[in-house]
């Protein structure tokens, strides 16, 4: 954990992080520039490895009250600051303050209005050494201990008297651990959707909002430095949130009515500084998912960066960057697994299935289960077999059942034109009358595979993964799906021509230079959702009964494909023996470097390389010798093109990699890694 120090709401210093200790000691000295009427604020934050840091509490120190209590002559003294969170005492912080000497007669006590005005006009603090303003030299954060002081009491004479009470030893820390890490959830009508109170598993989906809105902030008066944080009424909560009290434990919890979830953590307390107004011309808004963002009307731009603090408005990942932009797949995977583990319910779900009727029996038994049972451990038995399921039988079941319902002959899915990626069959209602029930079942199975860490045999198109993540598809997604469609809005069903209007009255609207972008957007949406809206809705309903949508938001569509389908074991020798070259030969130094680079990659990046070249991380039966392109069987090809300043370029429809003639292995390695991780767009065919 670490401590941040603020002077009149401005961050002034931050201590080093103390690890492996519940009684941390920070040997940190910092000089701050203040006014006699300044308010010092200390925030204690716990560092979370995989997820955003957790605010443990904060305390305040009124500089004038210290000067006034010592008649302007403050010796080097040890002060204990009470740390509170949502009105609950979570600890104390000890700081060494002084020495300093101030002419107290030159600084009379201020009224509430004058005090607020002085606070707003305070000097912006900076790190300094030996400087002083009004005789105030500096403060030194000390150590956190086990004593908790009661709030200060304002006397009629204007002085603050202190009443001390200590909670020491095991009583203090047991209380703090109960507040922070009590795993028991509040009682709710839907326990399967309740949010478990674990500080180590933060919720990335929930929005962060203000302690108060602008109107209330303008009229707010400064609190007593040792007063407890008052509870904020429901009007200050984000839209759709409600504050409740658990009658059994008297603990406050919060209800998200949008997603029907509960949690211990206040959605407004996520380490954000809302004490200052936005700059002129700026506005704060929220997305439909509750993510906060900012609009700069001066430049007509939007951003997730808070212009007041320079910090990202979203949740921060383990590397200190926004989770949704963090490319560390292993860290994202660890976070997702931690979320699943924390929501795993006790007990087992037992399925007895015959191999001959695998799909139909699985459908009947899974659909009979309540949604809560899908988060229990699986125990699968194949009839007539004596094997005990310690994970191996469940893995085989996921593989076989997914192979059955993904089979295009079953009629629910179909292959795309150029790859083995699958998309929903618009005519699935013809193949199966109960197709919506089956898509709900498939969504449950996919959710169970994600929740229990299993893989399936098959994979969807990247556009479908984007749909799962709630992201908009783009033109290159359509290009990967259907190169022959172009801009034709007609299709055949039962040998009769069907025509859909992209918008009401679209038949009478001509495509012009002015409306071509709208036309392209509508065409992409029509092509990707044509006849599959009901099927997609049923699938997502089953999927989100098992996994929360927010758990998946840390991944992009390619990472979600790897998460669901697994990272295959690629045989580099098989890959190399089934490769053809253009303008290169097997002994060219660039080719030798390329295969050296492939062998040096770990499993994750090797799968990403295959995905970059072919559009999918899956291999057909038969390995690289059976790779399919836009015109049937097509081997992997490396072609010499461009100059050494170019990045490698892939042609996914033809399984071809354009490799420039780099002059060194280090250059080839750098360019390939950059292309795999960062590039996208029309360079991918």
> Tens of pLDDT along 630-682?
566 788 899 999 888 888 988 776 888 999 999 999 999 999 988 887 765 44
Overall average pLDDT of the 233-250 stretch: 70
Ranked by mean pLDDT, the top range of 155-159, 255-259, 291-295, 673-677 is 673-677
- Tell me the β-bridge partners of 1: none
81-120 as b/e: b if 16+ CB within 10 A: bbbbbbebbbbbbebebbebbbebeebeebeeeebbebbe
Q: What pLDDT was estimated at residue 291? A: 64
Q: What angle do CA 397, 402, 403 make, to 5 degrees?
A: 100
Say if 321 falls within a structural domain.
Answer: no
Q: Using pLDDT thresholds of 50, 70 and 90, give the confidence band for residue 496.
A: low
Question: How high does pLDDT run on average in the chain?
Answer: 71
Q: Is residue 485 very low, low, confident or very high in pLDDT (cuts 50, 70, 90)?
A: very low
Q: Do the domain assignments include residue 340? A: no
Report field, pTM of the whole predicted structure over 0.85: no
Q: What is the mean pLDDT of residues 122-151?
A: 34
pLDDT at 312 over 90: no
Provide the CB-side half-sphere exposure for 600 (13 A, CA).
12
What's the confidence (pLDDT) of residue 668?
A: 92
Mean local confidence (pLDDT), 217-241: 45
Reply yes or no on whether the pLDDT at 394 is more than 60: yes
Q: Tell me which of 122, 153, 179 is where a domain ends.
A: 179
- Work out the pLDDT band at 414, boundaries 50, 70, 90: confident
| Alpha-helix runs per DSSP H in 458-532 | 462-468, 475-481, 516-529
Mean pLDDT of 280-306: 77
Q: Note if the bond before 99 is cis, omega within 30 degrees.
A: yes
Per-residue model confidence (pLDDT) at position 591: 94
Which of 147-156, 455-464, 489-498, 582-591 has the largest mean confidence?
582-591
Using pLDDT thresholds of 50, 70 and 90, give the confidence band for residue 461: confident
- The whole-number pLDDT of residue 50 equals 66
- What is the pLDDT, as a whole number, of residue 212? 32
User: Is 468 within a domain?
Assistant: no
- Asked, for residue 491, whether it belongs to a domain, the answer is no
Question: For the chain, what percent of residues have pLDDT higher than 70?
Answer: 64
Instruction: Give how many domains the chain has, as a whole number.
Output: 2
pLDDT at 659: 93
- Give the tens place of pLDDT for each residue, 322-380: 454 445 666 777 788 888 888 888 888 889 988 888 999 999 999 999 988 999 988 88
- Stretch among 6-10, 288-292, 547-551, 603-607 having the lowest mean pLDDT: 288-292
Q: Is residue 295 part of a domain?
A: no
User: What residues make up the domain containing 92?
Assistant: 2-179
Tell me whether strands 656-659 and 649-651 are parallel, antiparallel or unpaired: antiparallel
CB 412 within 8 A of CB 405: yes
Q: Tell whether the model's pLDDT for residue 122 goes beyond 70.
A: no
Tell whether 348 is covered by a domain: no
Q: What is the pLDDT of residue 664?
A: 92
Q: Is residue 417 part of a domain?
A: no
Q: Is the pLDDT of residue 255 over 80?
A: yes
CB atoms within 10 A of CB 494: 7
Domain boundary among the residues 121, 152, 179 is at: 179
On the question of pLDDT at 271 being above 50, the answer is no
Compute the distance between CA of residue 588 and CA of residue 661 in angstroms, rounded to an integer: 10
* pLDDT computed for residue 477 by the predictor: 66
Average of pLDDT values for 612-632?
A: 67
Catalytic residues: 653
591 within domain boundaries: yes
Residue partners of 322: CB distance under 8 A and separation at least 6: 304, 312, 314, 315, 316
Percent of the chain with pLDDT over 90: 11
Rounded CA-CA distance 248/408 in Å is 54
Domain boundary among 179, 214, 246: 179
Bigger pLDDT: 297 vs 611: 297
CATH number of 587's domain: 3.30.2410.10
Strands 100-101 and 88-97: unpaired
CB atoms near residue 483 (< 10 Å):
13
Instruction: Give exposure, 214-244, as e/b (b: 16+ Cβ within 10 Å).
Output: eeeeeeeebeebbebbeebeeebbbeebebe
């Amino acid at each position: 954990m670490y401590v941040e120090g603020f002077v009149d709401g401005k961050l002034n210093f931050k201590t080093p992080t103390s690890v492996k200790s519940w009684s941390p000691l920070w040997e940190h000295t910092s000089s701050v520039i203040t006014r006699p009427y300044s308010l010092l604020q200390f925030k204690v934050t716990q560092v979370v490895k995989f997820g955003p840091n957790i605010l443990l509490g904060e305390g305040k120190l009124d500089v004038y009250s210290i000067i006034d209590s010592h008649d302007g002559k403050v010796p080097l003294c040890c002060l204990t600051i009470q740390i509170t969170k949502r009105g609950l005492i979570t600890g104390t912080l000890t700081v060494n303050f002084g020495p300093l000497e101030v002419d107290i007669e030159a600084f009379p006590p201020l009224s509430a209005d004058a005090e607020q005005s002085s606070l707003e006009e305070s000097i912006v603090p900076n790190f300094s050494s030996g400087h002083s303003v009004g005789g105030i030299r500096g403060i030194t954060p000390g150590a956190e201990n086990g004593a908790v002081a009661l709030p200060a009491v304002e006397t009629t004479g204007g002085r603050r008297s202190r009443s001390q009470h200590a909670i020491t030893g095991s009583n203090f820390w047991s209380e703090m651990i109960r507040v922070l890490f009590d795993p028991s959830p509040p009682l709710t009508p839907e326990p399967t959707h309740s949010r478990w109170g674990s500080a180590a598993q933060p919720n990335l989906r929930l929005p962060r909002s203000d302690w108060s809105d602008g109107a209330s902030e303008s009229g707010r008066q400064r609190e007593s430095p040792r007063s407890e944080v008052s509870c904020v009424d429901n009007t200050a909560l984000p839209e759709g949130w409600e504050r409740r009290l658990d009658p059994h434990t008297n603990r406050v919890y919060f209800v998200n009515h949008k997603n029907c979830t509960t949690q211990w953590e206040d959605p407004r307390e996520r380490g954000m500084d809302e004490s200052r107004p936005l700059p002129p011309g700026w506005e704060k808004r929220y997305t439909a998912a509750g993510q906060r963002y900012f609009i700069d009307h001066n430049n007509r731009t939007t951003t997730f960066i808070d212009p007041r603090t320079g910090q990202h408005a979203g949740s921060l990942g383990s590397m200190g960057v926004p989770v949704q932009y963090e490319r560390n797949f292993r860290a994202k995977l660890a976070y997702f697994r931690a979320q699943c583990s924390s929501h795993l319910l006790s007990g087992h779900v037992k399925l007895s299935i015959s191999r001959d009727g695998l799909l139909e029996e699985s459908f009947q038994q899974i659909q009979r289960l309540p949604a809560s049972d899908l988060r229990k451990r699986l125990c699968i038995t194949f009839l007539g077999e004596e094997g005990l399921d310690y994970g191996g039988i469940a893995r085989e079941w996921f593989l076989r059942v997914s192979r059955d319902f993904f089979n295009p002959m079953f009629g629910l899915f179909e292959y795309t034109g150029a790859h083995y990626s699958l998309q929903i069959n618009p005519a699935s209602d013809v193949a199966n009358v109960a197709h919506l029930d089956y898509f709900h079942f498939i969504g449950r199975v996919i959710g169970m595979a994600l929740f229990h860490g299993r893989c399936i045999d098959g994979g969807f198109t990247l556009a479908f993964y984007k749909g799962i993540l709630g992201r908009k598809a783009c033109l290159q997604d359509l290009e990967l799906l259907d190169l022959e469609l172009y801009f034709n809005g007609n299709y055949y069903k039962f040998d009769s021509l069907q025509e859909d209007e992209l918008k009401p009255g679209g038949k009478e609207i001509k495509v012009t230079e002015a409306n071509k972008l709208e036309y392209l957007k509508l065409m992409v949406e029509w092509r990707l959702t044509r006849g599959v809206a009901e099927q997609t809705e049923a699938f997502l309903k089953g999927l989100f009964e098992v996994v929360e949508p927010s758990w998946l938001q840390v991944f992009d569509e390619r990472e979600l494909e790897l998460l669901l389908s697994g990272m295959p074991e690629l045989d580099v020798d098989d890959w190399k023996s089934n490769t053809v070259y253009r303008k290169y030969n097997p002994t060219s130094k660039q080719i030798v470097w390329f295969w050296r680079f492939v062998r040096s990659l770990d499993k994750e990046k090797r799968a990403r390389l295959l995905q970059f070249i072919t559009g999918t991380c899956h291999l057909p039966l038969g390995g690289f010798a059976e790779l399919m392109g836009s015109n049937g069987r097509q081997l992997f090809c490396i072609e010499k093109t461009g100059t050494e300043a170019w990045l490698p370029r892939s042609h996914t429809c033809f399984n071809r990699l354009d490799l420039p003639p780099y002059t060194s292995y280090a250059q080839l390695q750098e360019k390939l890694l950059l292309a795999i991780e960062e590039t996208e767009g029309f360079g991918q065919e």
